Amino acid sequence: MATGSQWIEAARPKTLPASLAPVIMGIGGAIGLGHASVGKSVLALIVALSFQVGVNFSNDYSDGIRGTDATGKRVGPQRLTGAGLAAPRTVLLAALSCYTFGGICGIALCVWAGSYGLIGLGVLAALAAWFYTGGKHPYGYLPGISEVMVFAFFGLLAVQGTIWVHAHMLPWRTWVAASGIGLLSCALLLVNNLRDIPGDRQSGKNTLAVKLGDKGSRYLFACYLYAALVLGVLSFNFRWGALLFGLALAIWVSYPLMKVLQDARGKELIKILKQVGQITLFYGLAIAVGWAFQGL
């Protein structure tokens, strides 16, 4: 039976900045537009966290029953299903519980905001989360589709949905920033898949990293970071804020970027995954603070 710490590890807390950061950014945008709400903000954060943990548990379940995590090539966090630490049905129930709780909070948020159309997008997000590795034909096993979904749901929808339920308006800078943080989420996914190339190739999981190969994936990682940096700078409406943000981000990304381009592997990539998660959280917080104090 899995211990509490093993369940926490399976929830993959290092990936949580990918869901928190865009919502925090959206909250900052709502403050900048003069339409902040503590209650709506809390609900948005709960929805994001619930869906992220649900994704992680459902991936654990789906990859585990397929044998993807039992190839002996895995370097990342231990999986409950693949390692036999928990019954597949128990892990599946944990995933569905997270989706259900997040869905209830999401519906409440949409009804409160009068944004009923977002309920449909929320359903699409839940389906995308499940079919990433679930079902007979998971799109997580196909190159490129996962990246599009991550960009859309952890970038555009998370930021813009949060702003919309507060302010019912979406200035152009919000699209720029949402695209930037979406690219950072893609970078997180890429580091994860770069680490897992040997095992994924053996198990038939044809991710974009497997398709591009080791060298191509490392170059794509650099492109994600550079593009996110440029878009982040463009998100500010005051020069000094943009300059300070750009300098801080450029310094911070230099270490993981250098390590990846210098052929980091295995456990080194786990450290880089954590660093990119921290960068993503900083990105969302910095832009949120800029918007909150200087407006959009």
Q: Enumerate the H helices of 152-207 as residue ranges.
A: 158-167, 172-195, 197-203
Split at pLDDT 50, 70, 90, the class of 138 is: confident
* 3-state SS class at 235: coil
CA distances from 116 to 45, 90, 96, 109, 146 (A): 19, 33, 23, 9, 26
Is pLDDT at 170 greater than 70 in this prediction? Answer: yes
For range 226-241, the mean pLDDT:
93
Rounded distance between C-alpha atoms, residue 152 and residue 154, angstroms: 6
C-alpha–C-alpha distance, residues 147 and 19, integer Å: 15
Rounded to an integer, the average pLDDT of 139-158 is 92
Sorted by sequence, the CB contacts under 8 Å of residue 137 that are 6+ apart come out as: none
Region 166-185 average pLDDT:
97
If we measure between CA atoms, which residue out of 107, 114, 10, 86 comes closest to residue 52? 10
Is the CB of residue 88 less than 8 Å from the CB of residue 81? yes
**Separation CA 293–CA 296 (nearest Å):** 9
Determine the pLDDT at residue 195: 92
pLDDT of residue 200: 86
For the domain spanning 15-294, the CATH number is 1.10.600
Residue 30, pLDDT score: 97
- Distance from C-alpha of 259 to C-alpha of 171, rounded to nearest angstrom: 36
Helix (H) or strand (E) holding 282: helix 267-294
Beta-sheet strands, E only, within the chain: none
Q: State yes or no: pLDDT of 72 exceeds 70.
A: no
200: nearest Cα among 138, 251, 292, 121: 138
Token pair listed for 249? 């981000």
Task: Report d(CA 13, CA 29) in Å as an integer.
Answer: 25
Distance between CA atoms of residues 190 and 5, nearest Å: 26
Q: pLDDT tens, 111-136?
A: 999 999 999 999 999 899 889 888 88
CA distance 27 to 160: 10
Cβ atoms of 281 and 22 within 8 Å: the answer is no
pLDDT of residue 240: 87
- Residues 128-161: b if buried by 16+ CB within 10 A, e if exposed: bbbbbbbeeebbbbeeebbbebbbbbbbbbbbbb
C-alpha to C-alpha distance for 70 and 80, rounded to whole angstroms: 11
Look at residue 123 and give its three-state secondary structure.
Answer: helix
75 band by pLDDT with thresholds 50, 70 and 90: low
Q: Determine the Cα–Cα distance for residues 187 and 203; give it in Å rounded to an integer.
A: 23
| Per-domain residue ranges of the chain | 15-294
Write out 11-74 in H/E/C secondary structure: CCHHHCHHHHHHHHHHHHHHHHCCCCCHHHHHHHHHHHHHHHHHHHHHHHHHHHHHCHHHCCCC
CA distance 74 to 22: 29
pTM of the full predicted structure? 0.92
Separation CA 80–CA 60 (nearest Å): 7
